[in-house]
Structure 1
Amino acid sequence: MLSTLFNWRLVLALIAILIVSGTIGYSRYLAKKIENEERQKVEQWVQAGTFINNPSNTDVGLAFHIIQHTDVPIIETTERDSITAWTNLDSTNVAAGWLPSDSLRVAHYNTYLRAKLRSFKSANTPIELTLDSTHHNRYYYGPTPLLQEVRYYPLIQLGIVGLFIIIVIMLLRSSYLSTQNHLWAGMAKETAHQLGTPVSSLEGWLEILRDIPGTETVVPELEKDVQRLQLVSDRFGKIGSKPKLEPRNLVEQVGGMMDYVRKRAPGKLQFTLNTQQKTSVIVPLSPPLFDWVMENLLKNALDAMEGRGSITVDLQEGDNEVIIDVTDTGKGISRQNIGNVFRPGFTTKKRGWGLGLSLSKRIVEQYHGGSLSVKNSEPGKGTTFRVVLKK
């Protein structure tokens, strides 16, 4: 599936490159063509103006038509670039037509016209008209709205293509994650089914051991382990199904899991549960799934300490939520790995699938509406995981 997703991304990237390259190439061709046509229009406009200003010419109808139907913005200057006329500029800033009505208007709009003149100079080479041996006019011109749209069109299309590719990749990724989730759910249910037979067999052997003298201290502990296997089987069987939440005493729930882990913890470890002197904190829970979360957090703490240290669980009740901080004095998490600890498949252990924290986060956030995060961690000093549950 990963290779398929990668191939799809490669194909989409190639298609995007071809589309954008073709669009940019064709748009540049159109822009160049429009630029040439606009220059021809300016040249015709200059010639038409010269024709009209010649007293010997009486038939100026065509010249007037050319002047009136030219949409290219033009600024006329002297050989020293002093502005003498303009056309097709913003009517709110300058008056339309060949010449300004008075010198005051030229002074008033000097800043706007000078800015436009600088822009036109950088855009195109001016057209010059010789008046006599010492004087000539220059005609600077800028792009029309059509030419500007053609130039910006590739950027707009690039954005559309990019958005399309992002949406397709997100849909493909969503499909991949959905398939992956179904696969894990199927494997979990099959595991629960396979566990059922040996667990039932162990229950039968426990009943036989009860009748054997001298096993009074062994049987209760074995029974707890069998019940634990039943709980694990029940958890796996419920993966993929929406759990049913029920009001439970969080103090008893957390305390019971700590007792279970404490009795099976190797080395010299100290377990502490701080409940702010509360004996009952009622929270809606799925007991089997929440126990899984606490077991994962406690076992991760055990692995981080390697047989020595302490594990402290602080339980704080607020008005609308309950906070559970699980703190260890282990080796901590490096800064570059903190962002990856909840990613499926990530692990720093020699053995393991790297799914414990990922599944725990999903259980807390998707099924219980809470949050699971790394509150803080410092290499060599320890880590604190924080669970927040709604009351």
Structure 2
Amino acid sequence: MLGQYFNWRTLLALVAILIVTGTIFYSNYLAGKIAVEERQKVEQWVEAGRFLIYAPVDADTKLPSLIRNEQKSIPIIETDEKDSIVSYINIDSTKIAADPMYLQKQLKAFKTQNQPIILEISKQPLLINKYYYGHSVLLQQVKYYPMVQLFIVALFIIITIFSLQIRNKSTQNQVWAGMAKETAHQLGTPVSSLQGWVEMLKEEDSSRQIATEIEKDVQRLRLVSDRFGKIGSTPQLEQHDVVIQVEEMVEYIRKRATGKVHLDVKKNAAEMSAKISPPLFDWVIENLLKNALDAMDGKGNIIVDMHNEERSIILDVSDTGKGIASQNVNRVFKPGFTTKKRGWGLGLSLSKRIIEQYHKGQLYVKHSEPGKGTTFRIVLKK
């Protein structure tokens, strides 16, 4: 049971999560250490300034001056006891020139980042200087590095998943094409043989009627072979009247349906022309009509409603059958899904492939309600 969840993909994901988590913790640890060191540097900078102001004339000021001059990484704003800005260092002067309120904004930001260092100048009257400081570039980089790394890892995972999906889809398409070509190839030999036997039967008067019926079935087999052959390769689309194609398939299904099933074709134009592959398009209509028949258990109504729009032709195939449960609506086009006791669950999947990949149209469930029926919609571009 657990074995199906623990595979190489799961292991890689866990390793990636551990690496990112470890990096985040370590980066926070480093950021904490750097923050402590930066506060010490600011304190030393303030003390060095105090010494330079109050030191005796003969005092050695070399070290305090070095501390003051070498501090070039931490931005500092000096204020008085009323938080009025007195001076500043390591802040971009061009931004201050462009925005008069820039220093005030920086001061507000520094107050949220660190506690100020207070330097008492005198007690009576009370005069103090406050030194607010922000994060250095190094500290900001250490803090934001884990976020950048997390983004890169997430992007890598997304690209990997997307690549796997494309590869799986490509493999599935190759399987479909290979299966279709092999089926067409396997059907080709017996169909040709049967055609020869039909011609021999026609030569005898007593067998002509039988030969005529057998020929119909042979032609049907040849059509099936032709359809599978076109599935395995890119079909040639030609301009055809869709109304004629639909009406012929409805008539074909009507002959094979019971007398309690009523098939009707509705249309808002006598002719609707689009680029299609007739054998494949007929196959789609046949699949939808057969599904409708199966859903009605021998009685009900099937309506093919055709609309000629400005840029497209819309076909709605509706039945009064059992309908599709809401949880299955998004699964009906997946290969292998079927609610029938017999069948491979490939009809609707093949139909969607034919309409959307070969004809650049759409095939979807427009509406379905259990116990009342289903409507499939085909949209063909003109």
Shorter-chain TM-score tier: 0.7 to 0.9
SS of alignment partner, residue 361 of structure 1: helix
CA distance in 1, matches of 2:222, 2:234: 19
CA distance in 2, matches of 1:5, 1:388: 41
SS of alignment partner, residue 377 of structure 2: strand
Give 5+ residue unaligned stretches, structure 1.
Answer: 96-104
CA distance in 1, matches of 2:4, 2:224: 34
Q: Answer with 378-387 or 56-65: which moved more.
A: 56-65
1:152 deviation in Å? 0.8
Aligned residue in 2 for 1:102: none
1:201 deviation in Å? 4.5
Please give the per-residue CA displacement for 1:66-124, whole angstroms capped at 9, x wherever unaligned.
2344232335567x7745645345647869xxxxxxxxx9xx8896366235413xxx4
Aligned residue in 2 for 1:100: none
Q: Answer with 370-379 or 111-120: which moved more.
A: 111-120
1:286 deviation in Å? 1.2
Contact 2:201–2:207 (8 Å) recurs in 1: no
Contact 1:75–1:83 (8 Å) recurs in 2: no
The 5-angstrom pairing of residues 300-311 of structure 1 reads 300-311=291-302
1:244 deviation in Å? 1.2
CA distance in 1, matches of 2:162, 2:48: 59
Pick one of 115, 119, 127 that aligns with 2:112: 119
Contact 1:74–1:87 (8 Å) recurs in 2: yes
1:305 deviation in Å? 1.8
Contact 1:5–1:172 (8 Å) recurs in 2: no
CA distance in 1, matches of 2:365, 2:6: 31
Is the counterpart of residue 160 in structure 1 residue 162 in structure 2? no
Aligned residue in 2 for 1:74: 76
Contact 1:16–1:162 (8 Å) recurs in 2: no
1:5 deviation in Å? 12
Change (3 A) 1:254 1:213: same
Contact 2:76–2:134 (8 Å) recurs in 1: yes
1:11 deviation in Å? 4.3
The 5-angstrom pairing of residues 79-90 of structure 1 reads 82=83, 85=86, 87-88=88-89, 89=91
SS of alignment partner, residue 348 of structure 1: coil
Amino acid at match of 1:40: Q
Amino acid at match of 2:177: A
CA distance in 1, matches of 2:133, 2:362: 62
Aligned residue in 1 for 2:290: 299
Pick one of 306, 312, 316 that aligns with 1:325: 316
Please give the per-residue CA displacement for 1:16-75, whole angstroms capped at 9, x wherever unaligned.
224323432442243233212211211111211211221525544543442344232335
CA distance in 2, matches of 1:242, 1:64: 81
CA distance in 2, matches of 1:172, 1:238: 27
Amino acid at match of 2:233: S
CA distance in 1, matches of 2:85, 2:269: 89
Aligned residue in 1 for 2:222: 230
SS of alignment partner, residue 273 of structure 1: strand
Aligned residue in 1 for 2:64: 63
Amino acid at match of 2:68: I
Aligned residue in 2 for 1:385: 376
CA distance in 2, matches of 1:131, 1:338: 79
1:202 deviation in Å? 4.0
Aligned length: 372
CA distance in 2, matches of 1:74, 1:85: 11
Change (3 A) 1:201 1:358: same
CA distance in 2, matches of 1:64, 1:227: 102
1:232 deviation in Å? 0.8
Pick one of 344, 354, 359 that aligns with 1:368: 359
The 5-angstrom pairing of residues 27-66 of structure 1 reads 27-57=27-57, 58-66=59-67
1:336 deviation in Å? 3.0
Please give the per-residue CA displacement for 1:250-301, whole angstroms capped at 9, x wherever unaligned.
22211111111221224621111123250x3332221111111111111121
SS of alignment partner, residue 50 of structure 1: helix
TM, length-normalised to structure 2: 0.83
1:171 deviation in Å? 2.0
Contact 2:77–2:107 (8 Å) recurs in 1: no
Contact 1:369–1:389 (8 Å) recurs in 2: yes
Contact 1:361–1:372 (8 Å) recurs in 2: yes
Q: Report sequence identity in percent.
A: 58
The 5-angstrom pairing of residues 260-339 of structure 1 reads 260-266=252-258, 268-278=260-270, 280-339=271-330
Pick one of 178, 181, 188 that aligns with 1:196: 188
Q: Answer with 108-117 or 287-296: which moved more.
A: 108-117
Contact 1:130–1:137 (8 Å) recurs in 2: yes
Amino acid at match of 2:352: K
Give 5+ residue unaligned stretches, structure 2.
Answer: none
Aligned residue in 1 for 2:347: 356
Change (3 A) 1:48 1:66: same
CA distance in 1, matches of 2:104, 2:371: 66
CA distance in 2, matches of 1:5, 1:258: 48
Amino acid at match of 2:75: P
SS of alignment partner, residue 337 of structure 2: coil
Contact 2:79–2:85 (8 Å) recurs in 1: yes
